[in-house]
């Protein structure tokens, strides 16, 4: 057996199964996921505008979907993505300015982003439903 083909007895690189998920890594992944969801949401808005320009019947069908349970779930999820991405982006601006790098500050601002996103989403949803 040549030297290049001999098995090497060294530890493997750690995988995701080795690490316990941390708040900072989870929020980073969520930030990327919400960015993707917002991109898909822009396509949803484009379809809404096309349905509105296609005529009242087409628009009524689209609004019928928006009024369904699935449609409201999609709109509510997109609204949460919008606010989460906004607040986490503001958090990243503070990091870019050099603030909030201490571990306790990173966790505090992370939880603040999550809570603020949920609260503002709920407020926007309640206000939006009252205006209908």
pLDDT tens per residue, range 71-120: 999 999 999 999 999 999 999 999 999 999 999 999 999 999 999 999 99
In this prediction, residue 1 carries a pLDDT of: 60
Out of 3.40.50.150, 3.40.50.20, 3.30.70.260, 1.20.1300.10, which CATH number does the structure's domain 24-131 have? 1.20.1300.10
What angle do helix axes 23-54 and 103-131 make, rounded to 10 degrees? 20
pLDDT band at 5 (very low <50, low <70, confident <90, very high): confident
Q: Determine how many CB atoms are found less than 10 A away from the CB of residue 87.
A: 19
Locate 104 and state its tokens: 């306790």
| This prediction's pTM | 0.82
């Amino acid at each position: 057996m040549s030297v290049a083909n001999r098995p090497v007895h060294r530890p493997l690189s750690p995988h995701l199964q080795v690490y316990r998920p941390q708040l900072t890594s989870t929020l980073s992944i969520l930030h990327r996921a919400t960015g993707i969801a917002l991109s898909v949401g822009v396509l949803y808005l484009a379809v809404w505008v096309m349905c509105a320009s296609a005529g009242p019947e087409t628009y009524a069908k689209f609004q019928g979907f928006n009024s369904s349970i699935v449609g409201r779930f999609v709109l509510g999820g997109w609204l949460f993505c919008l606010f989460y991405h906004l607040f986490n982006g503001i958090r990243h601006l503070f990091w870019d300015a050099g603030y909030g790098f201490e571990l306790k500050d990173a966790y505090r601002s992370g939880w603040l982003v999550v809570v603020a996103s949920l609260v503002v989403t709920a407020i926007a949803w309640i206000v939006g439903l009252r205006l209908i």
